[in-house]
Amino acid sequence: MSENTNDTLYETMGLVRIVEMNPEGRATLEYMAGTHLCHSGGVVQGGFVTGWIDAAMAHAAIARHGHDVTPMTLELKVSFFAPVRPGLVIAEGWAERAGRKTAFYEGHLKDAAGNVLAKASTTMMLADRSRVEAASKAALA
């Protein structure tokens, strides 16, 4: 995938900045939750909340395992604690346990005041990035 694809994804998701990618397996990303991401009552749709935490966990995996790895979600569980409203939100992800091919990560989404709005856990496959990209190109050909 090209950087242009990542830029488009980041823009769609409202990425403000990648705050941290720690080689110990931690990542922090900031997003701007816009009103265009909301459904009734001005609440951000849960798929965006899930995507933000999933991205933080994936960034944490890349920080730990390197840019030659593509984290691919095998299982994802999200618990929502409070409505996410428009404004700045912080997604954090961290390694819980990681092997060579399979890893377990956790994450949460907080508002600007530090209140946890949602938590998630994932099981991911650590795939070889060059193979994933080659398969994507072949599928598009």
Q: Crossing angle, helix 3-13 and helix 46-65, to 10 degrees?
A: 140
pTM, two decimals, is 0.93
Residue 47 pLDDT > 60, yes or no?
yes
- Banded pLDDT at 141 (limits 50, 70, 90): confident
How high is the pLDDT of residue 5? 63
Q: Which domain holds residue 55?
A: 3-140
Q: How far apart are CA 122 and CA 136, in angstroms?
A: 23
User: Are 86 and 49 contacting, i.e. CB atoms less than 8 angstroms apart?
Assistant: no
User: Are 64 and 4 contacting, i.e. CB atoms less than 8 angstroms apart?
Assistant: no
Residue 120 pLDDT > 80, yes or no?
yes
pLDDT mean across residues, the chain? 94
| CATH code of residue 50 | 3.10.129.10
Please tell me the total count of domains within the chain.
1
